[in-house]
Each structure stands twice: as C-alpha cells, then as structure tokens.
A and B are shown apart, each in its own frame.
Chain A
C-alpha cells in the first residue's frame, strides 16, 4: 500500500458568510476577500506542510491543478511539485512526487506539460508519478477557454503527444487537431524511460476507467462526494470493467483520495477539526455551481442522460454548501477520529474495494498550520504504518510506481487507434 500526503491550497481566511454570497471558482472577487498576509501565509503554510509530509515518511506528495479557484490556489501544480522534488533530493528522502496533476483537456501547450514533468523527474532523480486529469469544466472551459466539446478529444490527443515527446528517439513533426509543431524534441527527457508511471483521474466515467485498464494507466478516484455513498458504485464499476477488459484485479492500479482528520481521541478530533471541515466543504466544493462542473458539451449525451436519471455518483455534492460536520462524517466525505478509529475505517474500506494507493488529504479549509502539522504527524506515525502492509502478501506487484521507490513499472499500451495504424 502506498500512502501519499495530498493537499489543496485554499485561501484559509475567508469570511464566515462567504458561502452565502460567493461562488468558489471563476467569479470569486479577489481583492475584497484576500489580504497579502492571508495569501502569503496560506501558501507558505501549505508548502511547509508538504515538506513535513515528505520528512514524516509519506510515500508520496500529491497535488492537483485548479485555476481561478479560492479553494485550491494551484494554477500549475508543477510549480509547487518542483519544490519538494528538490527538497527531498537534497535531504535524501525516498518520496514520490505526484502531481495528479496537469489537466490535458485544458492545456493549450501540451509540450510544456511534457517538459515540466520531465524536468521534475530529472530534479527528483526519477521519482515522478505523472497524473493527468481530463479537467473540470470550469477550469478547462472557463479558465482556459476550451470549447466544452473539445475537452475530451483534446485530452486524448495531448496525452499521445506527451507520451511520444518523452520517449521518441528522433525529433518529429506533430500535426494534431489541437496543436501543431514542426519539430518536437524536448530537453530534458524523463529519467524514467519510456515514461514515468502514468495515472488518470476520474469521478466515475466508465470510459476513463476503461482507458486506464486497457492501456495500463493507474486510476485515481478523487472521492469528494462521500465514499460511503459513492465508493461501492465507483469501485464495483471499475473492477467489473477490469473483468470485461480481461485485466487482473491488481489493487495497486487503484488510487483513492480520502479526507482524514486524526487527533488523540474521537472527541478531540471533532472538537478540533469540525469547523475547519465545514469551512472546507461549504466554501470549496459546495460553492462550485453545478453547471460549472459540467458545461453543455463536456459530458457525452449518454452521460447526461445517465446523470439525470441517477445522480448517485455525485453523492453529497448537492447538499455540500450547507453541509454539517455530522453529514460529512455519515457520508464518508471525511474520516475523523482517534488513530484507532481512523485506521479501522480506512483498512476496511481499502480492503473491501481493493485500493492499493491512498491519498490522504490532511489539510482542508481553514485548518491552521499547527493543527495541520499535528494531523500529518499523527497520521504518519499512528495510522499509515498499519495500512502499509495491506497488499504485501497479495502476490501483486506495483507497476504504477517509480522503480527507484520499489515499483516495477511496465510500458503503457498504445491507444486502440495507434495500435490499428501500426
């Protein structure tokens, strides 16, 4: 079992009534809500916490990309990831650097993505794990201006270009629908050849799952909507597709993000974390308007029909703007309590759904630096050690982790179209 520290970079000092007046993305007014000191300490604490995670023994450090967002000030996760990449190299920490990561449905400069990842892989001495989300509608379509219907095909095309740019021996011309380059020959190339481990991110779209399984990518499920509500649907769907595709049920190909808050006792955990969890989900995800998660054209018409009939994949999302601590716990949006409480729930969940990579989100909303540091330390010392051996005796190898960190990477499979051409 690999366990990463995952954090977003929210602005931590929003007014209490923020969620009554503002959306958390795109339209959120910056200057009335933000001070220089507030944004400096939000980012400074966030970076320090990532560094603590690396030193505390997490297997990886993970971040995501969101532009024009008050809940995750992360216009480019590679800028952030490069800092721990260098820090861990100088301090001799064997930690994966895991941007989850650059949105390829958004990117208008795909070779830049290939270059940034290659650079991080070199800086870290071959410890990059490369995540590629398609991109949420508000980020890809509003922030980057990509027509919603182009998001998915742009992602597909950009992914092929990035994979090729990493490993092709000779400079090549790229005549894509969305980008054209007379000569692609990036410097440097990743140390991990032909590619660092590749992970795609999804929230339940069967097509993304199938792509991961057919091509040998890892699959990250970011469980924002309440794992107790959505987990069984999503994971059963994934493993059913694995059976259909004829791929072994290797738990290491599955990543799962869970918000966790650990304190000395259950009672103390609630007392210390509840208000910050409510802040995080009400003012973050809960304040993203639904239409900005899926603009017309970004979701296949069959997907729209399926969502209208059964919005279950979205779990608690529609109540998130006024959600209470108790509702967050009951839905499994958050796992909160003493180390014993937390590890018991996580072990059961990961075992039941064959999860081989846990991304523990240990900072959220307004959680101050000292409490975040405590959460990270307690999780690293009293929770993670009990989870790490979960799949040790399963007989499955981890093919989606860097070789330097004990993984046994395998080359990705060409896409169906590519296979046909060749």
Chain B
C-alpha cells in the first residue's frame, strides 16, 4: 500500500449537460478502471485518499453544481434532488463510464446512494464514507450548515487539534485567497444545502432497497455529525453490504484515518489472497 502517493496529474473536463443548461466540471486523474468520486458538502478537495485511488483507478470527481470556481450560479439550474441524480447519471454516460466504482463521502455519500438506488446497474461497487441521507429521531444528525465556523473542526474531527484536521482547515495565507476560500465554502454549503436543509432526509430510506451493488459502509466511530449508529441503518437497508468502523475517527475517515480507511477500501475493492491484501488492524474492522 502506498499512502505517500504523490499528487497525480489532474485534468479537468467540462461537460454541457441537462439540455445545455448546466456545465459540469469533472476532475480526472490516474489510470485503470473507472471510479466516480462524489465529494462532501464543502466542495471538492483533491486529497491523498484520491491520489491513492488514482494509483489503481481512473478517478472521475465531478464538482457539484455551483461549487466550481467561477460558475457559482450553476446551482440555479437544478431544483429537485431527483434532477440532480439524473444530472449525475448523464455525467457518467457522457464520460463513457461503464460500471464505475462509486465512492461518496458525507453529502456525496447520500448522492452516491441515490444514484445507486435510481440506477441499480450503474455502479460496479459502492463505497459510502459516513454518508448522510437517513434520519433517526433518537440520534439526530447535527446541523452542519447552521454550525458556527469556529465549531466546525470539533464537529468534523475526532481530534480537531490533530495534524489532518489542521491541514484540512488551514486557510490560505493570502487574505484575498482566504476570503475567496471562505466564501466558496459558505456557498458550497448553500448549494448542497438546497438538497439537505432543513433535515437531511429526502426519502432515501424508501429507496435504498433498490441498491444492487455490493456496498462498503465506512464510519468513524466518533463521528459527531452523523453518529456511527447510522452505519447499521444503512447496512440493514442495503442487501449486499458490510460495515467497517474506524476507531479514533470523526466524520471524515479518509482524512483523519487515511491508512485504515484506504486499507478497508482497498480490501473491499480488490479482494485477493490474504497475503496480497493491505494490512489492517483487526480492531478497526467489524463484519456485521
């Protein structure tokens, strides 16, 4: 396993979709079988996890409408979640992806699950990293959009003072760039919030039985945004699924626990003889 993966060459494709009303921008990197990555509510950040995936796959990472630099009003082209799902299906067709692996994180996890539920034959396999989309009154999902910015680190990370959290939340040094980054994140929350506010439950529970792909559900045990209890909820509703819980980990396992998360994902995507599998700490895994 190589987690010191260097940043690959990243290309961008711009696709005019939705009868020309919307331009979807897709970051593309790596080589191999296709993998579609759907980013969380704050927008797409190319991180070491994606670089790692790009070593074995061609990673396609579309930017959610409105979150692409210079095109904020693209969000106004879509009003319903069902339309968003159709847009993403159109993107996979336009990219010519045949049965891609679909990986989604948080908001992107909800979107990945929706895509797999609407189009059961689309994904080869499905990986959900702390996805949103379900709701239980006894363990409510935190309202990340209404959380004051200074409280976001503690909501997102088990160890907000740790290096992964600090690296992720570090604003650019240049004040102008820092303001643009802040405004961009605020706007990204607004764009994705169009489909999650006020309660991030758009009825996914009623559709998850349609997911046919073999599914890996990864959860940070200390996720404070959407508690780990939801892992079993997803597993119960998706027939061919298994759960991996990552210890000492918050809402973003691929950042806070990159090694363990990558190992779990690799083992799921490339099962082989045990000797060729990446090493994984037994305590970090749980087979339901």
CA distance A304 to B182 in the complex (A): 9
A297 and B194 contact, Cβ closer than 8 Å, known pairs A177-B79, A291-B147, A291-B148: yes
A107 CB to nearest chain B CB (Å): 16
- Centre residue among B79, B184, B190, B195 by max chain A CB count within 10 A: B190
How many Å from the CB of B282 to the closest CB on chain A?
Answer: 41
Please determine whether A304 and B183 come into contact, CB atoms closer than 8 angstroms. yes
Q: Kindly state whether residue B120 has any CB partner on chain A within 8 Å.
A: no
| Inter-chain contacts of A150 with B (CB < 8 A) | 194
A148 adjacent to B148 (CB under 8 Å):
no
* A296 & B186 in contact (Cβ 8 Å cutoff): yes
Given contacts A147-B198, A297-B187, A297-B194, contact A305 B179 (CB under 8 A): yes
Query: Is A371 an interface residue, CB under 8 A from the partner?
Result: no
For B85, list chain A residues within 8 Å (CB): none
Digitize B157-186: 1 where CB-to-A-CB distance is under 8 Å, 0 elsewhere: 000000000000000000000011011101
8 A Cβ contacts from A245-299 to B: 289-292, 295-299
B194 engages A298 (CB within 8 Å)? no
Q: How many residues of A sit at the interface, in one of the four size bands? A: 20 to 34
The contact string, 1 if C-beta is below 8 Å from chain A, for chain B 72-104, is 100100010000000000000000000000000
Tell which of B72, B79, B198 touches A142, judged by Cβ atoms closer than 8 Å: B198
Interface residues on B, range: 20 to 34
A149, A177, A291: the one contacting B194 at CB < 8 Å is A149
Q: Are A147 and B193 also in contact (CB < 8 A) when A289-B148, A291-B146, A291-B148 are?
A: yes
Judge if A141 is at the interface, Cβ distance under 8 Å: yes
User: Do most interface residues of chain A lie in helix, strand or loop, or is the interface mixed?
Assistant: helix
CB of A422 closer than 8 Å to a CB of B:
no
A296-B198 contact given A291-B146, A301-B183, CB 8 Å threshold: no
Q: Which residue of B149, B183, B193, B198 contacts A149 across the interface (Cβ within 8 Å)?
A: B193
* Min CB–CB distance B177 → chain A (angstroms): 12
Q: Nearest Cβ in chain A — how far from B198, in angstroms?
A: 4
Bound form: Cα–Cα A319–B285 in Å: 49
A148 adjacent to B182 (CB under 8 Å):
no
Q: Given A149-B190, A297-B191, does the pair A309, B179 have CB atoms closer than 8 Å?
A: yes
B46 adjacent to chain A (CB < 8 Å): no
Q: A305 to B183, Cβ gap below 8 A?
A: yes
Once A145-B198, A291-B148, A296-B189 are accepted as A-B contacts, the answer to whether A301 and B72 lie under 8 Å apart by CB is yes
B187 with A147: CB separation less than 8 A: no
Partner pick for B193 among A142, A148, A299, A305, CB 8 A cutoff = A148
Known: A149-B191, A295-B146, A297-B190. A308 touches B198 (CB 8 A): no
Contact string against B for A residues 142-156, beta-carbon threshold 8 Å, 1 for contact and 0 otherwise: 100111111000000
Taken together as a complex, chains A and B put the C-alpha atoms of A262 and B274 apart, in Å, by 84
Measured between C-beta atoms, what is the minimum distance from B21 to chain A in Å?
15
Tell me if B145 counts as interface (CB < 8 A to partner A): yes
Question: Chain A: which residue is nearest B199 at the CB level?
Answer: A145
A291 and B149 within 8 A (CB): yes
Shortest Cβ distance from residue A318 to the other chain B in the assembled complex, whole angstroms: 13
- Given A147-B198, A148-B197, A177-B79, check contact A296 B145 (CB 8 Å): yes
Q: Bound state CA distance, A308 and B187, in angstroms?
A: 13
Residue in chain A with minimal CB distance to B41: A296
Q: Which of A143-185 contact B (CB under 8 A)?
A: 145-150, 177
Q: Chain A: residues with CB nearer than 8 A to chain B?
A: 141-142, 145-150, 177, 289-292, 295-299, 301, 304-305, 308-309
